[in-house]
Amino acid sequence: MILTIVSIAVTAVPAAYAVYWRRAQAKRRNADWDSIVSRFRSNNEFGFAEITDRYLYSPGIQATPQDIWPRIQGVNGLWAMFVNAGVLMELADYASTHGGEAVPEMLIEELRSDALQLRLAVLIAMVRYGFSRSGVSASVNAHRAACAYGSMLAHMTTLFQEHLTLFFPRFLEAM
C-alpha cells in the first residue's frame, strides 16, 4: 500500500512539474515586449546605478566589496539582480526572435553565461548571509553578482546597439 503511494507520488510530482514547466515556456514565448519589461526592476530602485559609473556600457564596478552590500540594500538588491537576469534573457530572446536581423549566437551565449554566473553568485551570497547573518562573507559574493550584472547589462547594450537598433530606444527606456 505505502509502496504504491510512494511510486505514484514519485511519478506524479515530476509529471506535474513538466506540465507546469511547459506552460511557463509557452507563456514566455508568447509574451510581448511590454509584459516582459513590466517585470524589470529599475537599477535605481536597488542602488545599482550608484556603484557603477556607466552601468549600461561598462561592466566596471566603482565600489569595494565592503561598500556593495549597503549600497544595493543587501538581499533586496541581490534579489532584484536575480529577477532582472531572467527578464534580460527574455528581452534578448524576444529581440532576437522579433528583430529581423541575425543576432550572433556567441552574444546570446555570453548573455546566458552572464545570467548563470549572476544567479549563482546571488544564491551563494544569500545562503552565506542567511547562515552567518554577516554582511562580510555575503558582500564578497554580492560584489561578484554586481560584476556579473554589469557585464550582462554591457552585453545587452551591445546586442541592442549593434544588432537590434529598432529596439535600442525601448531598451534604454526600460532601464
Vertex 34: Cα angle to 156 and 173 (nearest 5): 50
Are 155 and 114 contacting, i.e. CB atoms less than 8 angstroms apart?
yes
Q: Which domain does 135 fall in, by range?
A: 32-174
Same domain, 15 and 37: no
Same domain, 70 and 22: no
Rounded Cα distance, 128 and 10, in Å: 32
Same domain, 8 and 60: no
Q: Please write the tens of the pLDDT for every residue from 59-98.
A: 777 777 788 888 888 888 889 989 998 888 888 888 777 7
Same domain, 94 and 169: yes
Q: Give this prediction's pTM.
A: 0.78
Same domain, 89 and 108: yes
Same domain, 21 and 42: no
Same domain, 104 and 146: yes
Mean confidence (pLDDT) of the chain:
80
Domains identified in the chain, total number = 2
More confident residue, 31 or 28: 31
Q: Please write the tens of the pLDDT for every residue from 113-135.
A: 888 888 888 888 888 888 876 66
Same domain, 82 and 18: no
Rounded Cα distance, 103 and 159, in Å: 8
Rounded Cα distance, 153 and 56, in Å: 5
DSSP 47: T
